[in-house]
Amino acid sequence: MKIRVLSLLVLFLGLTSCLKNQSEGVQVLDVAKYEQKMMQPDVQLVDVRTPEEFAEGHIENAINMDINGDNFEASVANLDKEKPVMVYCKAGGRSAKAAAKLKEMGFKSISDLDGGITNWNSENKPTVK
């Protein structure tokens, strides 16, 4: 009986923590949902990889703002905080860091591509150079 109660408590806490993340304005989306959301008006698409990685291939209409660059915050300050921002990197680590930074800076709607451009490419989605 104690195990069942404990299991239910853990499940409840897990579900509420997921709900909290979405209410904070950061969504991690799979490739299909990310691509669909990109089609909405006023989306600001940001590739947070290095300029060299960006040059190797990126999602069309993406703006390159290197999360590890010296001017990331200054570049991001030029974006509209009221419009949706979509970020991605190579595998998801840097974009998660960028999404947290954007949230801290007051951006309202932030989406992060789960698995980054690696997942995008694995589903044969288009990129440009």
Is 18 marked active-site?
A: no
pLDDT at res. 2:
54
Bigger pLDDT: 27 vs 23: 27
- pLDDT digit string (tens) for 61-92? 999 999 999 999 999 999 999 999 999 999 99
Stretch 10-19: mean pLDDT:
41
Catalytically annotated residue among 28, 86, 87, 89: 89
- Distance, in Å, from the CA atom of 85 to the CA atom of 90, rounded to the nearest integer, reads 17
How much is the pLDDT for 1? 58
Domains of the chain: 25-122 (3.40.250.10)
